[in-house]
Amino acid sequence: MRTNLDHLLSRLRNVGILAHVDAGKTTVTERILYLTGTIHKRGEVHDGTTVTDFDSQERDRGITIFAAAVSCDWDGHSINLIDTPGHVDFSDEVERSLRVLDGAVALFDAVAGVEPQSESVWRQADRHGVPRIAFVNKMDRPGADLDAAVDSIRQRLHVTPLVVQLPIGEEAEFSGVIDLIKMRAYVWNDGLVECPVPDALLERAVRRRRLLEETVAELHPIALDEFYARSTLSAETLAVVLRDLSLSGTGVVVLCGSAYRNRGIEPLLDAVIAYLPSPQEVPAVQGLSDGALQERVADPAAPFAALVFKVSSTATGRLTYLRVYSGTIRKGETVVDAGVGRTERISRILRVQADQHVEVHQAVAGDIVAVVGPKSARSGATLCAPAAPLVLEPAAVADPVVSVAVEARRSTDTDRLASALTRLVEEDPSLTVRTDSETGQTLLSGMGELHLEVAAEKVRRTHGLEVVVGRPQVTYRETVGRGVSGLVYRHVKQDGGAGQFAQITLDVEPLDEDFAFRSVVVGGRVPQEYVRAVEAGCRDALAEGPLGGHPVTGVRVTLTDGATHPKDSSELAFRTAGRLGLREALRASAMVLLEPVAEVTATVPEDAMGGVLGDLAARRGRISGSTARQGAMVIVATVPLAELFGYATQLRSRTQGRGTFTTRPTGYVPAPTAR
């Protein structure tokens, strides 16, 4: 039985599709599902008939908004596939997906090469150590150039591309590929046909094969030994070495094709099996158990541990999506939400096919499934066996940068709106909801205009509520420009009974990181438990700065001295002193308002370049470069996010509808004036 489970694990792949918006992720996913027999009719994005873009907003907008999981089988292997969003506003969906994936296929446009969001998701995958292969899509487009796309991968992503295919035909004449490992041609007409390499391409294919061998020999000792001994590499050695280089991240295998025209998908599936890891081949997951670091290997017999990476509400109930890292879970069993100690019962286990589900009796290590039963487990929670608690590290959640005021059109719907917003935040942790202390308005914050538009529309469609949404406002930060030293704060409260007493002395100074706290108190003048309380109070104070109530970042606080009272001092008193003392210290410091900025990449006709540059300058943009590409100009600029509201309409107007742009958040810079 154990041998059978190990065999099944070795034949499992958990893979994500990553790319810039409009690179063809959903079309590739559809073709994979069709070729594997999972669906019997190819869906099209432009027709709104795709499997993974099943949400009504995704079909209306023609983009992927929510990460969708599907399962399929190929060549005796099972593949769990996650189609991720490409728009920057939904990068947190990508982050949560990457946290639970073992490998990824990175898609690139054969004309545009590496685009801004391609680079961003690549860096996200780097942080998670996810092995990747690359697929250059849209080889049938005018201007498609595999070599140029590969050069952009090398230069912008700083990796070694290992090109294993040579295209047959260019642009509209693209009809197939030559496999440089097997030295065979694959041509697609009504179907896939394998044949010898065409004579006209044989010399070029031999040169490319030689280049691949030389590159691989430089990177891998086994290949180097064989290359020196025989002056060539066998197909078997190449396959083994390419897998090693892919798993280690030393090199990236590159394939090409046209998903829309059904060309190149079969070799891509073969590459997923050949070069991406099974759950057994990735490092054991690490978590905390009773404060100690513990590893769990992908073993169905080990104690159960799974990470919640997505929560969604459906007409039939609440679905909790899990990546099972160890052990086995069966229908009807009880698990523990390790972070909060709450017990949850698993009433159903579902194999996911986007918005369709197939019930199964169990899930084992390596599986990605949805479960019904947990009532309060949120994204990032760890569900584990009660007898073996373990807390896994959740995916990082980015701070929101744009806010809008939201209110129900009818006052009688206020409570329903609050409930709907709570459910939204449960499903998408990158959204936050708070009440403005000055205006009393409910503020919904997210990663961008589109993110908030989608959230508001979901409230309207899913919950049947009419809502009024205010104008977008960016989320500012405050930081310390020049700090203060030796600020003494004395907290005394006496209103009958036990009083409160705490005295602290603080130094405040600028810091490149978000926040740091240290204590240099000597002689036990402030006991250690009170030092921790002061730090907690200081963290409380960072929520609202003195300039405009914005969060405070970039500050180091040093506790240099203090005093206690034998009866009236307590952790509560020192936490209060830390909060109020730091607030006073910040008011005494020279504070700087920070505004979020974004990198804008605009592709515009050459004759419109002057007007676009002038418009960016009027928006306080700083131009960092421009390049010519296929009769158009690509302009890169850094622009304050507050100046980009409505930019899409303005760009279309200046370019007669021919201009496009993408944005990527790049951090915060000092704002020119206080707001």
Element counts in the chain: helices (H) and strands (E) = 16, 38
Does 1 appear as a known binding residue?
no
CA–CA distance, 272 with 104 (Å, rounded to integer): 8
Does 553 appear as a known binding residue?
no
Q: Which residues contact 455 (CB under 8 A, 6 or more apart)?
A: 424, 428, 431, 444, 446
Q: Write phi, then psi, for 606 (nearest 5 degrees).
A: -60, -35
- Of the candidates 100, 103, 111, 110, which has an alpha carbon nearest to the alpha carbon of residue 18? 103
Helix orientation angle between 265-275 and 235-248, rounded to the nearest 10 degrees: 70
Determine contact, residues 325/392, Cβ cutoff 8 Å. yes
CA–CA distance, 198 with 207 (Å, rounded to integer): 14
Does 139 appear as a known binding residue?
yes
Does 161 appear as a known binding residue?
no
Joined tokens for residue 377? 């487990």
Determine contact, residues 304/323, Cβ cutoff 8 Å. no
Q: What is the 3-state composition of the chain as percent helix, strand, coil, each rounded to the nearest 5? A: 30, 35, 35
Does 140 appear as a known binding residue?
yes
Does 554 appear as a known binding residue?
no
Determine contact, residues 264/139, Cβ cutoff 8 Å. yes
> Between β-strands 12-18 and 103-109, what pairing exists: parallel, antiparallel or unpaired?
parallel
Amino acid at 307: L
Does 550 appear as a known binding residue?
no
- Of the candidates 84, 212, 210, which has an alpha carbon nearest to the alpha carbon of residue 150? 212
- Of the candidates 362, 324, 277, which has an alpha carbon nearest to the alpha carbon of residue 12? 277
Q: Which residues contact 457 (CB under 8 A, 6 or more apart)?
A: 57
Query: Sign of the C-alpha dihedral, residues 395, 399, 402, 407?
Result: positive
Other CB atoms within a 10 A radius of the CB of residue 352 amount to 20
Does 83 appear as a known binding residue?
yes
Determine contact, residues 612/656, Cβ cutoff 8 Å. no
Does 64 appear as a known binding residue?
no
Does 422 appear as a known binding residue?
no
DSSP state of 504: E
Does 301 appear as a known binding residue?
no
Does 382 appear as a known binding residue?
no
Q: Rounded to whole angstroms, what are the CA distances from 419 to 118, 407, 426?
A: 36, 12, 11
3-state secondary structure 581-596: HHHHHHHHCEEEEEEE
Does 24 appear as a known binding residue?
yes
Q: Write phi, then psi, for 208 (nearest 5 degrees).
A: -65, -40
Does 179 appear as a known binding residue?
no
Joined tokens for residue 428? 């998408």
Does 19 appear as a known binding residue?
yes
Q: Rounded to whole angstroms, what are the CA distances from 223 to 60, 133, 233, 366?
A: 50, 20, 7, 31
Residues forming the annotated binding site?
19-26, 83-87, 137-140
Residues forming the annotated binding site for GTP?
19-26, 83-87, 137-140
